[in-house]
Amino acid sequence: MGDRSAREPYRQARPARPAPIRPQRGRWSDAQAFAALDLGTNNCRLLIARPQGDGFAVIDAFSRIVRLGEGLAATGRLSDAAIERTIAALRVCSDKLKRRNVTLARSVATEACRRAANGPEFIARAYRETGIHLDIISAEEEARLAVLGCHALIEPGDDPALVFDIGGGSTELVLIDTPRGAMPRVLDWHSAPWGVVSLTESAGGTATAEADRLAAYARMRATVAESFAAFASRLPKTVRRPRLLGTSGTVTTLGSVHLGLSHYDRAQVDGLIVPAEAMRRISADLSRMAINERAQLACIGSERADLVVAGCAILETILDLWPAERLGIADRGIREGILRRLMGSPRP
């Protein structure tokens, strides 16, 4: 195994539910770096930041589509090819952690590793080969971290707000109360086993005729609606002004399409407020297109062309569930939530 310190020069926060770190005067130096790594079913994403005022300043980042959960629905296991892609991305992350002299890091894995029979085996290999310890977190903690990372973008209001995170293998829905000047309070939450990868694979391939594509889209929406039913029955029946905030590749991609961007620009997308009907129109248009047509659209491209329609189906079903007139878009979530926890923010 060798000397652990040689492989792991930074300290990692390992407990599945770490105790909150309360802010203390002089505890963290502005020069100290913290890191958060989120390994999802589709993406591997890293954020490295330093404390700054009441928040933090990002000093390095990394994101790569690894499709760790590709084929998982059919086999119940992470494939060899998916593991190799992911290990390669984790090596890049490990190098960044060392170069940036990270003081404290937390790395989490979500739905793919929760579901895979060989998830623990993969976690052990990732640690051996990269020095990164991946903590497989529960769906509830995933939802709470996402809220902690993005709640600042929720529109002001007195009614409950719904925050959602469309992932690769699952979708988290969180109903929250937002007391003025206080940390949001989680009222209810739900995790559905459908994300852009799992729902795309369940749809059974790419249809060539438009009528078949539309039929597949309708089946996707029905499948997602069924998985949301229990949560839908618990939602308040009368909300004067529903507020809605989404954090995921789906909503940031559709936000880019709405703006007509030639390339993705986080500065224009993070915090964007879009009419819900505009998002429905974009979703409907994409559901009619063939995969090669979607691939030609800026900010979708070949990497997202096969998955974006499943994201649209999930988004439209959420809009049915919580009929807000406007949708807030956040290009922030789990990683930012982890960083805030590490630096001392209380739990939502």
Is residue 84 pLDDT above 70, yes or no? yes
According to the model, what pLDDT value does residue 203 have? Answer: 82
pLDDT digits (tens, 9 = 90+) for 170-189: 999 999 998 876 788 999 99
Lowest mean pLDDT among 13-22, 77-86, 305-314, 334-343: 13-22
Lowest mean pLDDT among 80-84, 162-166, 180-184, 310-314: 180-184
Average of pLDDT values for 125-152?
96
Is residue 5 pLDDT above 70, yes or no? no
Dist CA 328 CA 345 (whole Å)? 23
According to the model, what pLDDT value does residue 23 have? Answer: 35
User: In terms of pLDDT, which residue wins out, 23 or 329?
Assistant: 329
Is residue 27 pLDDT above 70, yes or no? no
Residue bearing tokens 């119940």: 76
According to the model, what pLDDT value does residue 30 have? Answer: 57
Is residue 7 pLDDT above 80, yes or no? no
Q: What are the beta bridge partners of residue 60?
A: 48
Residue bearing tokens 């070949």: 302
Dist CA 67 CA 206 (whole Å)? 18
Is residue 25 pLDDT above 60, yes or no? no
Average of pLDDT values for 74-87?
97
| Reduced 3-state DSSP string for 56-94 | EEEEEEEEEECCCCCCHHHHCCCCHHHHHHHHHHHHHHH
Given a contact cutoff of 8 angstroms between Cβ atoms, the answer to whether 4 and 331 are in contact is no
Looking at the chain, the whole-number percentage of residues with pLDDT higher than 90 is 80
**How confident is the prediction for the chain on average, in pLDDT?**
89
Task: Give 21's pLDDT tier (boundaries 50, 70, 90).
Answer: very low
Is residue 13 pLDDT above 50, yes or no? no
Q: What are the beta bridge partners of residue 48?
A: 35, 60
According to the model, what pLDDT value does residue 344 have? Answer: 84
Average of pLDDT values for 104-118?
96
According to the model, what pLDDT value does residue 346 have? Answer: 64
pLDDT digits (tens, 9 = 90+) for 195-243: 999 999 988 656 779 999 999 999 999 999 999 999 999 999 889 999 9
Task: Give 144's pLDDT tier (boundaries 50, 70, 90).
Answer: very high
According to the model, what pLDDT value does residue 204 have? Answer: 65
The pTM assigned to this predicted structure is 0.86
| Cβ count near 165 (within 10 Å) | 29
Average of pLDDT values for 36-45?
96
- State how far the alpha carbon of 154 is from the alpha carbons of 61, 179, 315, in Å: 24, 12, 17
Dist CA 322 CA 89 (whole Å)? 36
Structure tokens at 208: 């060539």
Dist CA 160 CA 55 (whole Å)? 25
According to the model, what pLDDT value does residue 183 have? Answer: 83
Average of pLDDT values for 59-80?
95
Is residue 124 pLDDT above 90, yes or no? yes
CA dihedral 27, 52, 139, 278 (to 10 degrees): 170
- Where do the domains of the chain lie, and which CATH numbers do they carry? 4-137 (3.30.420.40), 141-334 (3.30.420.150)
User: In terms of pLDDT, which residue wins out, 208 or 77?
Assistant: 77
Average of pLDDT values for 114-124?
97
Task: Give 26's pLDDT tier (boundaries 50, 70, 90).
Answer: very low
